[in-house]
Amino acid sequence: MQPTSVSIQRPFRPGRGIAILAVCFLFVSVVVETTYSWRNLGDAYFLVKVAGWILLSWGAMHIRAGHPRGLTFLAAGWGWMAANFWRAIADRLADISAGQTLRLGSVEIIFAGSCFAVCLTGLILTLVKANRN
């Protein structure tokens, strides 16, 4: 008698890859931004990020639960965070042009720019996925 192979398949969840991207982004962003803002966690700039993190978290949780409406929360979260990081880049460039120095130097621009790129990518992928469903 030949052994039969058993294949374990995960249930298909639309947007699962985008939700994984959101969770990875959340991990990095929450750790770095909270560390950077540790002395001013009540600052409006930090609280704006918290709103975006909540939207991304809700989206990822809905996708994990099998609800495609999680794509709506992900799109809102990605857009929110992209706008926030665009603002961060603009603020830092304005500071530099005014002759000020950045607390962490060019790392701030690199981090904000990288986060902006990830957020735009997440937004585009989410909108494409939502259009296909």
Question: Tens digits of per-residue pLDDT, 65-112?
Answer: 999 899 999 999 999 999 999 999 999 999 999 999 999 999 999 999
Percent of the chain at pLDDT exceeding 70: 89
Separation CA 66–CA 124 (nearest Å): 21
Using the structure block, give the residue that is written with the tokens 């999680």: 70
pLDDT-derived band at 132, boundaries 50, 70, 90: confident
Q: Which tokens hold the place of 50?
A: 């918290």
Q: How confident is the model at residue 42 (pLDDT cuts 50, 70, 90)?
A: very high
Which residue did the predictor score with more confidence, 23 or 7?
23
Residue 6 has pLDDT above 80, yes or no: no
pTM of the model: 0.86
Q: What is the pLDDT of residue 105?
A: 92
Q: Does pLDDT of 26 surpass 60?
A: yes
Three-state secondary structure readout of 10-43: CCCCCCHHHHHHHHHHHHHHHHHHHHHCHHHCCC
Q: CA-to-CA distance for 82 and 122, rounded, in angstroms?
A: 9
